[in-house]
Amino acid sequence: MIEEMRNRTGKDLSRTGIGVDAGYFSSDNIRYSHEQDFDVYLPEGTGEAGVRQWRGDLIRSRDCRLEIDGDIRHLICPGGQVMEVLKTKEDRGNYFYRFYPEKRYCRSFRLRSRCYPKANTQKGFSVKKEYFDNLLLREKMTQKLSSEQGKKRMKDRSCLIEHVLGEKKDILKFRRFLHRGLE
């Protein structure tokens, strides 16, 4: 989308603040905007500072904190247990780090039932390798979004864009449409 804007306007967009929807968030997009030195505000989710919000009843890897220490990848669960892994495992063309908490450390954890809904389950967390590879860029983006400038930029974005979409849906009744045929 940025390339299309650059081609149509013929302008250097490196100094232009660009606020986009969380739907565009991906490791590729965040890495591209960093490499091209674009001033992009790209939230990962809809929570405070663009952070993903806890959804559902189960604790997933997105609810945990990630850290890198040299070659070792750490996943710290909400209960405080630190899990480590060195190697990735391949699964259908993607590479993941797999973390397995020790159940005995979770006995006093108040949210234990969200990790272990059944007594005989083995909890495991999977985190894509590319997520860890871009962890620093993701953290920088979170800091950028939580700054005063970031909050202002995303607030401006919602004022400029979201009402237009709302008007199309509400006033024009443009809620569903098909893309079939020339007519």
Same domain, 67 and 119: yes
Q: What is the mean pLDDT of residues 125-140?
A: 88
Determine, yes or no, domain membership for 183: no
Same domain, 129 and 149: no
Q: Please provide the average confidence, as pLDDT, over all residues in the chain.
A: 80
Determine, yes or no, domain membership for 54: no
Same domain, 112 and 163: no
Structural domain count, the chain: 2
Determine, yes or no, domain membership for 126: yes
Residue 180 pLDDT > 80: no
Q: What is the mean pLDDT of residues 111-135?
A: 79
**CA dist 182 → 41, 138, 175, 178, 179 (Å):** 37, 43, 20, 11, 8
Query: Can you give the pLDDT at residue 49?
Result: 52
| 148-157 vs 135-146: helix crossing angle, rounded to 10 | 80
Same domain, 129 and 65: yes
Query: Can you give the pLDDT at residue 48?
Result: 57
**105: containing domain:** 61-133
Q: Which amino acid is at 38?
A: F
**CA dist 47 → 92, 140, 151 (Å):** 31, 16, 12
Q: What is the mean pLDDT of residues 71-94?
A: 87
Same domain, 79 and 99: yes
Q: Helix/strand/coil (H, E, C) string of 143-171? A: HHHHCHHHHHHHHHHHHHHHHHHHHHHHC
Stated pTM of the model: 0.68
Same domain, 70 and 116: yes
Q: What is the mean pLDDT of residues 105-127?
A: 75
Same domain, 120 and 89: yes
Same domain, 150 and 110: no
Determine, yes or no, domain membership for 22: yes
Query: Can you give the pLDDT at residue 172?
Result: 81
Determine, yes or no, domain membership for 38: yes
Determine, yes or no, domain membership for 104: yes
Same domain, 82 and 33: no
What gap in Å lies between CA 61 and CA 59, rounded to an integer?
A: 7
Same domain, 147 and 124: no
Comparing 74 with 178, which gets the higher pLDDT? 74
pLDDT per position as a tens digit, 41-53: 888 876 555 566 5
Nearest to 92 by CA among 38, 128, 43, 139: 128
Determine, yes or no, domain membership for 6: yes
> How would you class 19 by CB atoms within 10 Å of its CB: exposed for 0-12, middle for 13-18, buried for 19 or more?
buried
Determine, yes or no, domain membership for 101: yes
Query: Can you give the pLDDT at residue 47?
Result: 57
